[in-house]
Amino acid sequence: MTFRRRLLAMTALVSASMAATAAFAQANTSSGSNTIEELVVTAEKREQSLQDVPVAVTAFTDETRETVGINSVQDLTNFTPGLAYSTNNDRINMRGIGRFTNNRSSEGGVAMYSDSVYTSSVTAFARSSLFIDRTEILRGPQGTLYGRNSIGGALNIISKRPTDDFYAEVRAGFANYDRQYYEAAVSGPIAGTVRGRIAGSWDTQEEGYFRNLSGGPEEGGHGQQWQIEAQLDGSLADEKFEWWFKFDTAEWDNIGRGPGGRSTVPFGPRDTFRLFTGTSPGLTPNPVFGYGVGRPSTRCGDDVLCFDTDDPNYITLENHGAAFHATLHLDSFDIRYVGGHVYYDYRLQTDVDDSSRSAPFTVTRTTPNVIAPTTANPNGFGAYLPAAGVTIFPRQNNQYQEEVWWFSNELNIASTHDGPLQWLFGLYQFREGSNYQATDARFPDDARFASPILPNGQPAAPNPLRRYAIGRSENSNESYATFGQVDWQMNDVWKFTAGLRYTLDQKRSDESARLFCFASPNCPTPIPLVVDVTDSVVAPNTLPQVDPAVQSQTYVTQTVNGVPTRVAVNAVWTDPTTGMRHRLLKYEWSGITGTLGVDWKPNEDLMGYAKYTRGYKAGGFNAGTTTLQQRVTTQEEKIDAYEVGLKATLLDRRLQANASAFYYNYTDIQVPLTGLNPILQTNVTEFFNLPKAVVKGFELETIWQPIDNLQILANYSYLDAKVEEACCFRDPDDPNAIQPEAKVTFGPGTGNTVGQTTNLNQDLAGNRLPSSTPHRVTVNVNYTWEWDPGSLTGSVSYVWRDETYYSIFNRWYNKAKAYEQVDVRFLYRERDDKYTVIAFLKNAFDVRGSAGVSGGRINSPNLPGFTGENTYSVSYVAPRTYGIEFQYRF
């Protein structure tokens, strides 16, 4: 069924549902309510009605999440205008602002908080409503009260807290793909004013969304995970002092489930016929040489959700965290402390050779496609092999790791007295350490890699894990801030707000890398031994690398060969005991951010606001690459944001409509690219600051309850996020700029010379920022039938997303097609709320919607004149799932 037909069908379905439920309600007496309940949020670090907050806020209670079916981060994006999330690379984006790299020494542009404690992982937002009381999403820069990395917006989840009376709940769910999950919580008083709560969950899925053509385990959703959370709270001195503590722990043991799990299908040809790819082959042979079979998607039949590997996308996660809040209530103000600590160890194994072939084979000089001539190598590459040939072990995999720990402390002093002038001041501290390993690529079956040699034939440092490429970094990140905001209620109608924040960020990264060469023309010797080429390939300049953004004259004490040594920051050295080549990076950034705003509130049901916000995100390093690139540092990002909004409650509180329009001047955007360095006037691969983008948009959220028990939620967002200045950069998937959208100019300042036809830089002005969906529509219709035994709620959700680019190079191989999704739910609630039964159907039409697309390229093969061919990979949302959940409360 085409999109247009589906859209018409869904329009008819929604209209019919509304008509039927309206007729039913008019014919039957109901005890329901048709007024919209007030929702209290803490978006400005005070409890306020959502309709009184001069910020574009989307908030979900646990009851709303259950009614409309918000069970994942992707579901959050369905119901939040301007919010986008890519499951495969765990990147969140708000109004076109997010991140271009997962490198731990560079952050995203959307701040995330769990119970007001900063977190750099989005996984906590996928927890069930048993744990989460409320989710608040603040759209737009939050540079005063949230500060750190909130240049695009902020997300905060608020946990369910201990109860005054004894409470217990158990839940069990069963779904297709052999999924089952169990949850339980107990809460109540312990002693005196002390209360407690403990909750836990266990979730397992035995079948995956993707089938393995090799007969191995299925992937995508497959695996198990559990978590436990414990809380205590209490008060002293007649509740003048209140405190709250939470500890939580979680573990994953998944096969292709969660961020980084299998959700992607590659399309297009792949080079399986040549041992060496391109005219400049890499350091090791083509991993799929001789496989002779196209992409698995070409062999899947009617459904492309399949793969063919021997190494799974295996994911493990260990996560522990603690949070503590303490509030002292004085006569006219509160003093509040918020602190927290998190440890997070995420590991992902992926199959590099992308095949299930693991048996070794021998290649000789006469093997087809080894000696094929090229323009650059007219005699072919076969001459580099020994006469007897060389044995190839095709199995390759990569071990990705993020081991992170952080803690933060925040102190707020906020006024509580009556009067026109209200204020809040605070101090903030954050420290993060991490071990980041993007590349740890291995030949696990090839014992030769365990004992490499140096180019001079001498033994190199041992390589027991049989790596052929590794890039890692050990990072520390410290941030300090002071901030304040003042609100002046001039009269009953007008209120003015001013806020200011100063932030200092300090970062340090000890990056290291090691590379090996085997049976390749680029090896320094043709013999079939593994050669350690680290010193000649990885940052070969032993002097400090010249980078104006790095303090290259700073010296620190670093352990070198087991001895404390005074080392220049950004200098390069090799540790002979490990063979790893090291470099230390260090820099600091600072920024002043703030807001100015005015609110207009002529009556209790209408509020308008206008504000200006200055946003800032610290620069960072593109640290831990396998070659320790020379220029890896960026300066800070900045944003000047202008926004107006209107919040209205109409028709006797039966209709709530919140609208906002915004304009951003977004500058110095941090992107790792290859392009012209204006200082060196040469093409380099570095962490660039793109000069400027302009972001414009409009968002509308509505809740309408036209009759008793009928509720209609409808959201619309328009986003125009385009690069305005960005020249000149090279598309790795179109280096010769042959795509019709490529804009190429020649002459000084472009990196291109007249007559040049290859490796051309392009002007990116006019391109959309990644993940910035131009249009999105969400509609949910839910109706509740009530009887003496209980109530039944039917809920239908429809989401349509416009086509979206997922790269700053807006090309067909980076574009996700528009798609729609329909979800259906039925909830039966017992009259006394003792139990609830939920039946759900997600992605009812089994649409292959995409949450990300990335381009690829087959480099020029060993045939003169061939210019290469583009490929692409699509990251799909989950297919049709259905099941039932039981909840029982004591």
d(CA 81, CA 139): 9
In this predicted structure, the answer to whether residue 85 has a pLDDT above a threshold of 60 is yes
| pLDDT, tens digit (0-9, with 9 covering 90-100), for 191-202 | 999 999 999 999
- For position 4, what pLDDT does the model report? 45
E strand or H helix at 345: strand 333-351
| pLDDT, tens digit (0-9, with 9 covering 90-100), for 370-394 | 765 554 554 456 667 777 888 999 9
User: Minimal CA–CA distance to 553: which of 521, 519, 587, 576?
Assistant: 587
Q: φ and ψ at 67, to 5 degrees?
A: -70, -45
Instruction: Answer yes or no: are the C-beta atoms of 385 and 526 closer than 8 Å.
Output: yes
| pLDDT, tens digit (0-9, with 9 covering 90-100), for 860-882 | 554 444 556 888 999 999 999 99
Confidence of residue 587 (pLDDT cuts 50, 70, 90): confident
> For residue 420, with 0-12 CB atoms within 10 Å meaning exposed, 13-18 middle and 19 or more buried, which class applies?
exposed
In this predicted structure, the answer to whether residue 509 has a pLDDT above a threshold of 60 is yes
State the average pLDDT for the chain: 87
Type of residue found at 450: A
CB atoms under 10 Å from CB of 815, counted, come to 18
Q: Which residues contact 611 (CB under 8 A, 6 or more apart)?
A: 54, 497, 595, 596, 597, 598, 642, 643, 644
d(CA 596, CA 612): 5
Q: φ and ψ at 30, to 5 degrees?
A: -135, 150
User: Minimal CA–CA distance to 448: which of 511, 383, 381, 523?
Assistant: 523
User: Minimal CA–CA distance to 345: which of 407, 261, 400, 401?
Assistant: 401
Confidence of residue 414 (pLDDT cuts 50, 70, 90): very high
What percent of the chain stands above pLDDT 90? 61
- For position 570, what pLDDT does the model report? 61
- For position 477, what pLDDT does the model report? 93
In this predicted structure, the answer to whether residue 19 has a pLDDT above a threshold of 60 is no
Predicted model pTM: 0.90
In this predicted structure, the answer to whether residue 166 has a pLDDT above a threshold of 80 is yes
Instruction: Answer yes or no: are the C-beta atoms of 189 and 167 closer than 8 Å.
Output: no
- For position 257, what pLDDT does the model report? 83
Confidence of residue 624 (pLDDT cuts 50, 70, 90): confident
Confidence of residue 569 (pLDDT cuts 50, 70, 90): low
What percent of the chain stands above pLDDT 70? 88
Helices (H), 390-496: none
Question: Token pair for residue 733?
Answer: 């998937």
- For position 17, what pLDDT does the model report? 41
Cβ burial 156-185 (10 Å sphere, 16+ → b, else e)? bbbbbebeeeeeebbbebebebebebebbb
| pLDDT, tens digit (0-9, with 9 covering 90-100), for 31-59 | 344 567 778 888 888 888 888 899 999 99
| pLDDT, tens digit (0-9, with 9 covering 90-100), for 744-780 | 989 888 888 998 888 899 999 999 999 999 999 999 9
- For position 526, what pLDDT does the model report? 59
Confidence of residue 556 (pLDDT cuts 50, 70, 90): low
- For position 302, what pLDDT does the model report? 82
d(CA 607, CA 404): 42
Q: What is the SS3 assignment for 846?
A: coil
- For position 593, what pLDDT does the model report? 94
Q: Is 558 left (phi over 0), alpha (psi -120 to 50) or beta?
A: beta
E strand or H helix at 74: helix 73-79
In this predicted structure, the answer to whether residue 24 has a pLDDT above a threshold of 50 is no
| pLDDT, tens digit (0-9, with 9 covering 90-100), for 213-254 | 988 889 999 999 999 999 999 999 999 999 999 999 999 999
Question: Token pair for residue 400?
Answer: 């990705």
- For position 25, what pLDDT does the model report? 36
Residue with the bigger pLDDT between 858 and 423: it is 423
E strand or H helix at 616: strand 606-617
- For position 371, what pLDDT does the model report? 62
- For position 194, what pLDDT does the model report? 97
Q: What is the mean pLDDT of residues 579-585?
A: 89
Range with the poorest average pLDDT among 492-501, 570-579, 692-701, 722-731: 570-579
Helices (H), 257-310: none
Q: Which residues contact 852 (CB under 8 A, 6 or more apart)?
A: 86, 87, 88, 89, 264, 806, 816, 874, 875
| pLDDT, tens digit (0-9, with 9 covering 90-100), for 296-337 | 888 888 888 999 999 999 999 999 999 999 999 999 999 999
Confidence of residue 632 (pLDDT cuts 50, 70, 90): confident
Strands annotated E in 140-273: 153-159, 167-175, 179-191, 194-205, 211-212, 222-236, 241-255, 264-267
Instruction: Answer yes or no: are the C-beta atoms of 574 and 534 closer than 8 Å.
Output: yes
Q: What is the mean pLDDT of residues 605-614?
A: 96
Cis peptide before 728 (omega within 30 of 0): yes
CATH number of 31-306+321-383+397-470+511-544+588-726+764-889: 2.40.170.20
